[in-house]
Amino acid sequence: MSQDFKQAALDYHEFPRPGKISIELSTSAETAKDLALAYSPGVAEPVRAIAADPEAAYRYTAKGNLVAVISNGTAILGLGDLGPLASKPVMEGKALLFKRFANIDSIDIEVDAESPQAFIDTVARIAETFGGINLEDIKAPECFEIERTLIERCNIPVFHDDQHGTAIVTAAGMINALELAGKKLEEASIVCLGAGAAASACMKLLINMGAKVENIYMIDRKGVIHSGRDDLTAEKAAFATETDKRTLDDAIDGADVFLGLSGPDLLSPEQLKKMAANPVVFACANPDPEIRPEVANAVRDDVIMATGRSDFPNQVNNVLGFPFIFRGALDVRASAINEEMKAAAVKALAELAREPVTQEVLIAYGLESLEFGREYILPKATDSRLLGRISYAVAQAAIDSGVARLPMPEHYPIRSSAELAN
């Protein structure tokens, strides 16, 4: 980043007032009667109602549209373990995105916990405050235990976006890219460079969507994860295959797909040349991908390329998923975000990219035209149709899979974000 951009980022977070979110009143508080209703003595009535029926909290408080964005700061973006306080700008940013794209109220919570169990206990004890919990920037392998235990202990959706948000958007783009390449997910040879939280979730979801585990070669710092290794965590062991491939150079030979969730410049032009025809390359390390698009395109004119960056085509961007997934889950009061709901989000996202692009998107990105193809396999973040399509698909999947506690809302599918402001 240039010095000017760095300063602009600092100024954005400092002015006109520090931070990116605030709390606003949702009801009148002007008169003596207003104050008597809002607090003492009137507030006693909803207190009694909730004590008699906990579900009344959704009727008389903001719980049903409130998501906590929670981190311990152990894996902040690509910056590493910088502590909970340093994660606050990121968590505030997530809250901003929830509000901007799905009108979900959100508050950031940074937890200084001495252990995963202390973090779990802290979050579990405050969970009743919220309608959902978005976990963020928690390192692997701790994040797996944390999420799994919190899902068991909480009766609201708990969703680690670094895992599942990344996986959902990646899977949607991958399905479309493979179709353009003339290949099928269930037959594709997939190389995944990286074995952390996002990589594990991506591979699990792709398998759920049809990929074969025997066709997946996951690679960590020690090389290919194979059945002969005795140093694997439970999460990594799930992807251990019987193979004589030991390095990225071995695995990439003839591969249909490369998914990078690792670090910059780790896929060489020579390795890209060894991939099968019409290779699909998702180089998602941020800010510097495993191979830059201009380098990849210079080596292979048949490559279908995606990155995590907004300045290249086909950005794998979690904002395409999590606001709308939570919107659908909250609106049917789902007790969890399960595999069926994730798969529904994948399909809705992939299908939207195949539809004609609206004028609002073209204007937002300064384009004259854009259509489904090698440089457009995922919708753009400004596409207002995302809200209605994904929230409806997720809500329906929650109902069909038995985790919804409310029927489909009468105003679904949502036609515009303006409906949510009323």
Active site residue 39: yes
Residue 399 one-letter amino acid:
I
Q: Identity (one letter) of the amino acid at 295?
A: V
Q: Is 286 annotated as a binding residue?
A: yes
Q: How far is CA 279 from CA 194, 243, 335, in A?
A: 19, 22, 39
317 marked ligand binding residue? yes
Q: Is 136 annotated as a binding residue?
A: yes
Catalytic residue among 39, 60, 273, 365: 39
Task: Look at strands 223-224 and 216-220 and give their pairing.
Answer: antiparallel
SS3 track for the chain: CCHHHHHHHHHHHHCCCCCCCCCCCCCCCCCHHHHHHHCCCCCHHHHHHHHHCHHHHHHHCHHHHEEEEEECCCCECCCECCCCHHHHHHHHHHHHHHHHHHCCEEEEEECCCCCHHHHHHHHHHHHHHCCEEEECCCCCCHHHHHHHHHHHHCCCCEEEHHHHHHHHHHHHHHHHHHHHCCCCHHHCCEEEECCCHHHHHHHHHHHHHCCCHHHEEEEECCEECECCCCCCCHHHHCCCECCCCCCHHHHHCCCCEEEECCCCCCCCHHHHHCCCCCCEEEECCCCCCCCCHHHHHHHCCCCEEEECCCCCCCECCHHHCHHHHHHHHHHCCCCCCCHHHHHHHHHHHHHHHCCCCCHHHHHHCCCCCCCCECCECCCCCCCCHHHHHHHHHHHHHHHHHCCCCCCCCCCCCCCCHHHHHC
C-alpha distance from residue 289 to each of 34, 41, 43, 79, 258 (Å): 55, 58, 53, 15, 12
Rounded to a whole number of angstroms, the CA Rg of the chain reads 22
Question: Which one is catalytic: 6, 33, 63, 94?
Answer: 94
* Residue 302 labelled as part of a binding site: no
- Best CA proximity match to 417, nearest among 355, 317, 327: 327
Q: Is 162 annotated as a binding residue?
A: yes
Q: Which residues are catalytically annotated?
A: 39, 94
| Residues making up the binding site for (S)-malate | 286, 317
| Residues making up the binding site | 136-137, 162, 286, 317
| Residues making up the binding site for a divalent metal cation | 136-137, 162
